[in-house]
Structure 1
Amino acid sequence: MSTKTVLITGATSGIGLALFEKYAMEGANVIACGRNQEKLADLHSSAFKTFCFDITQPTQIASAAEDIKALDLLILNAGDCRYIDDAKNFDGELFSDIINTNLSSLGALLQYFLPKMQKGGQVVFVSSSATILPFPRSEAYGASKAGMDYLANSLRLDLVEHGIGVTLVHPGFVSTPLTDKNNFTMPFLLTSEAAAKRIFIGIEKRKNYLQFPKRMTFIMTFFSFLPSSLWQALITRKHSTNKDSV
């Protein structure tokens, strides 16, 4: 059996770094991608290749793709999370930036890397459980991930004829440099390593949809079936309590 070639975006921290370490340990040819050249240098000894590029810059992605012959697994993990703190004075620039980073960038990543995918390969989208329910301050982040969900589910249908699978991942709260900035309670918080293990297993099983931790996603799914007025009353009251305590 030939060695898998795995490309991971956002491989220098959080879930991406944990996935890099997991696949490298399993003997895969791992291509680590990120914006931080210094952090990528730390991965050089374990990586098959490293590429430093900004996912919002298509020309940089195209340049990296020229040096890649074939891929078995494409893990689209890189992203950002920032919040709209004052909805009445809506920050359109922040909104646009998050949409560009988390969603629009996927167009160029797929344009240049998807043609490299081998038959039997897999594309993995690391989205968020935040798409199950609307949350305060999450207009930008939630919208970007909801767009990713639709993209992944639609792409799955069109890639069947090419023998390429699509896995959509909905993690709950995971301890990463992004979530470390949160000033609110994060129930069922997982380490990046625990999240990467779950994602690895789900990919190996070629799951279409992967969500974890189960307790959190079960609760969120349950609430999603409640009348919207009830959920709105619950979450806005909780949000107001959190703001008062900060």
Structure 2
Amino acid sequence: MVTAETIWITGASTGIGRDLALLLAEQGNTVIASARSESGLQQLAALNANIIPLVFDVSRADAIDAVRSELLKHSPYLDRVILNAGTCEYLDISAPDWDMMQRVMTTNYFGAVNSLAVAMPLLQARPKSADGKGAHIIGVVSLATVVPFSRAQAYGASKAAMQYFLDSLRVDLQSRAIDVTVINPGFVKTPLTDKNDFSMPFLLSSSEAAQRMANAIAKRPRQYDFPGA
């Protein structure tokens, strides 16, 4: 028998995050879904009673305490947090917008850091299961950290920073029995990738990506890359 969990997921109003939130809720878990869009979250929550909407702009470090307080209203601890919020902008080397590098890093890297700052006390409060497992941190990174793509300097660098952050964090959390999983998706059809003007080989639907991720999350691997994993 699978025990229902309390799971917090960021970037949940569209794309992979939305489909993953729905899938996890359908499995009987309580899913606290966060994003900037209140209307998007309300529409999501209307689809499943197990989904609780919680507005959070991950770039807002000044919102950390308030968001943590809201989480605590629903549960004294979290079983898992899924750091999924992200954005992508491309660099035009002929007319570079250098400020864009900061914008993407703020959401993708510091957004993950801010989210973890919110969640860490609730993750540490999670009782160990019978097999000695504690809470679980999942970071949605990208295969872009492996292959350098044209114009993706900001996106790739922010995701590479996120991967190192999580890999290093895993070392420090071993003694606390908190697992850290890095998920590296390839191309997935989402509102973000719909803007791409180049070929995207092995493109998956967001629902297929969510299913693969849910299957991987249940096994708590150190890293899961797909497609091809």
Tell me the TM-score normalized by structure 1: 0.83
Once the two structures are TM-superposed, the CA of residue 212 in structure 1 deviates from its matched residue by 0.5
Does structure 1 residue 96 correspond to structure 2 residue 99?
no
| Structure 1: runs of 5+ lacking an equivalent | 218-246
Aligned residue for 1:226? none
Among 125, 136, 141, the alignment partner of 1:127 is: 141
Alignment of 1:1-246 (within 5 A): 2-45=3-46, 46=48, 47-67=50-70, 68=72, 69-85=76-92, 87-117=93-123, 118=126, 119=128, 120-214=134-228
- The question of whether the paired residues in 2 share the 8 Å contact of 1:14 and 1:175 is answered with yes
Deviates more, 1:6-15 or 1:52-61: 52-61
Question: In 1, are the aligned partners of 2:135 and 2:179 still within 8 Å (CA)?
Answer: yes
**How far apart are 1:88 and its partner, in Å?**
4.9
CA deviation string 1:148-185 (max 9, x = no partner): 11011101111111111001000000000000000101
**1:19, 1:61 → 2: CA distance?**
23
Task: Write the distance in 2 (CA, Å) between the matches of 1:136 and 1:57.
Answer: 29
Q: Whole-Å Cα distance in 1 between the matches of residues 226 and 112 of structure 2? A: 23
**Bigger mean CA deviation after superposition, 158-167 or 113-122:** 113-122
Contact 2:85 2:112 in 1 (8 A): no
SS of residue paired to 1:39: helix
SS of 2:12 mapped into structure 1: coil
The C-alpha deviation readout for 1:31-71, integer Å capped at 9, x for no partner, is 01011111111123424421112111122232121122210
How far apart are the structure 1 equivalents of 2:158 and 2:33?
Answer: 23
State the distance in 1 between where 2:219 and 2:43 align: 30
TM-score by structure 2 length?
A: 0.89
Shift >3 Å, 4+ stretches: none
Q: What CA RMSD, in Å, does the superposition of the two structures yield over aligned residues?
A: 1.4
- Whether the 8 Å CA contact 1:15–1:192 is kept in 2: the answer is yes
Q: Pick the structure with more helix per residue.
A: 1
Spell out, residue by residue over 1:59-106, the C-alpha distance to the aligned partner (whole angstroms, 9 max, x if none).
223212112221001000000011001x25432111100011100122
Q: Which amino acid aligns with 1:99?
A: M
Helix, strand or coil: the match of 1:125? strand
Aligned length, in residue pairs? 214
Asked if structure 1 preserves the Cα contact closer than 8 Å seen for 2:24 and 2:31, the reply is yes
Q: CA deviation at 1:4?
A: 0.3
CA distance, structure 1, for counterparts of residue 221 and residue 3 of structure 2: 22
Residues 99, 141 of structure 1: 8 Å contact kept: yes
**Residue matched to 2:131:** none
Task: Work out whether residues 54 and 61 of structure 1, in 8 Å CA contact, stay in contact via their aligned partners in 2.
Answer: no
- 2:190 aligned counterpart, secondary structure: coil
Tell me how far apart the structure 1 counterparts of residues 157 and 139 of structure 2 sit (CA, whole Å).
15
